[in-house]
Amino acid sequence: MSTLEIKDLHVQVQTEDGPKEILKGVTLTIKDGETHAIMGPNGSGKSTLAYSIAGHPRYEITGGTVTLDGEDVLAMSVDERARAGLFLAMQYPVEVPGVSVANFLRTAKTAIDGEAPKLRTWVKDVNAVLDRMNLDPTFSQRSVNEGFSGGEKKRHEIAQLDLLDPKVAILDETDSGLDIDALKVVSDGVNRFRERDGKGVLLITHYTRILRYIKPDHVHVFVAGRVAESGGPELAEELEANGYERFLTAAV
């Protein structure tokens, strides 16, 4: 069971010219086992939504609520949110020099589970996941995201999704900048996650391409800090054919 409920979320950031409101009342419910796609043009506030749910300190919540299975997510610290079952695959994963992927994954797994994973099965699990993500076994000895290609960074995010096994995954443009092979590998990873019981996915994307591989239950068009229209997969097809034009003019 896992339900992520976002109600009338308002978010601002501090800029040189004072506070700037970016999210202007976002309402969205991801129920048990559902995959929702959020599609929107650049600058519409998609990453802001993702970061706000994950608790990035730069984004200030000025109104609204976010709950995970009824628990107040906004009252939790960043790491508490992750331990409660939220996962954010970042659009721009961050380099952590000197910290190996192996150490990072083990530390994260231990934090999420509240106990260290069994050494023997863990090493096998990690290697299997890296292999499925088409990442070399020596990958685990590299420093987190340091010198990774764009594709490696995204595949590493999905490897974490697989190993950390959250309740709800938010994927922020995981498809951007991937060639077709990497896109398939990443989509397979996400689909394997979706096959598990009751997992929710919020798939943020700029392009319709990834929706050929990951079939959403619901599609939301995101414009100027709010959901402009919601529908089924057919909405993605309309976007593929006509682009965002209709929604942009409506928003002005």
Partner 1 sequence: MTVTETAASAVRSALETDHIESHLNPPASYGLADHPVPTGREEVWRFTPIKRLRGILDGEASAATLKRETTLPEGVTLSAISAEEAVALGELAPNERPAALAAANADGALLLDIPAETVLAEPVVIRLTGATVDDLVWSRLIYRVGAHAEVTVVLVHEGSARYSAISTFLVGDGAKVNVLSLQDWADDAVHLGRDAIRVGRDASVKHTSISFGGDLVRMHANVEYAGPGGEAELLGLYFADEGQHLEHRLFADHNAPKTKSHVLYKGALQGKGAHTVWIGNVLIRKVAEGIETYEENRNLVLTDGCQADSVPNLEIETGEIEGAGHASATARFDDEQLFYLRSRGVSEKEAQRLVVHGFFNDLIRKVDIPMVEEKLLATVEAELAKNVLKDELA
Residues near partner 1 (CB under 8 A): 54-58, 77-79, 81-83, 87-88, 90, 93-99, 103-104, 107-108, 111-112, 143, 160, 164
Min dist. Cβ of residue 80 to partner 1 (A): 9
Q: Residue 119 binds which one of partner 1, Mg ion, ligand ADP, none, with CB within 5 to 8 A depending on kind?
A: none
Which one among 48, 52, 174, 187 touches ligand ADP, defined by CB under 6 A? 48
Distances (CA, A) of 55 to 6, 81, 86: 14, 8, 11
CB 59 within 8 A of CB 51: yes
Residue 15 touching ligand ADP (CB under 6 A): yes
Which one among 2, 35, 44, 47 touches Mg ion, defined by CB under 5 A? 47
Q: Residue 19 binds which one of partner 1, ligand ADP, Mg ion, none, with CB within 5 to 8 A depending on kind?
A: none
| Count of residues engaged in binding Mg ion, rule: CB under 5 A | 3
Residue 215 touching ligand ADP (CB under 6 A): no
> Between residues 92 and 207, which has the closer beta carbon with respect to partner 1?
92
Min dist. Cβ of residue 142 to partner 1 (A): 12
Residue 42 touching ligand ADP (CB under 6 A): yes
Q: Residue 27 binds which one of Mg ion, ligand ADP, partner 1, none, with CB within 5 to 8 A depending on kind?
A: none
Q: Which residues contact 11 (CB under 8 A, 6 or more apart)?
A: 21, 22, 23, 45, 48, 49, 52, 59, 60, 61, 62
Min dist. Cβ of residue 16 to ligand ADP (A): 9
- Locus of tokens 């097809």: 237
Angstrom distance (rounded) from CA 174 to CA 166: 17
- Token digits for 75? 């009252």
Distances (CA, A) of 201 to 146, 153, 155: 27, 19, 17
Which one among 12, 44, 174, 187 touches ligand ADP, defined by CB under 6 A? 44
Angstrom distance (rounded) from CA 150 to CA 176: 9
Identify which range of 3-11, 38-46, 58-66, 156-164 contacts Mg ion by CB under 5 A. Answer: 38-46
Residue in 4, 17, 14, 15 with CA at minimum distance from that of residue 69: 4
**Order of strands across the sheet that contains 60-68:** 18-30, 4-15, 60-68, 71-72
Residue 58 touching ligand ADP (CB under 6 A): yes
Cβ-proximal residue to Mg ion, closest one: 47
Residue 44 touching Mg ion (CB under 5 A): no
Residues that bind ligand ADP (CB under 6 A): 13, 15, 20, 22, 40, 42-48, 58
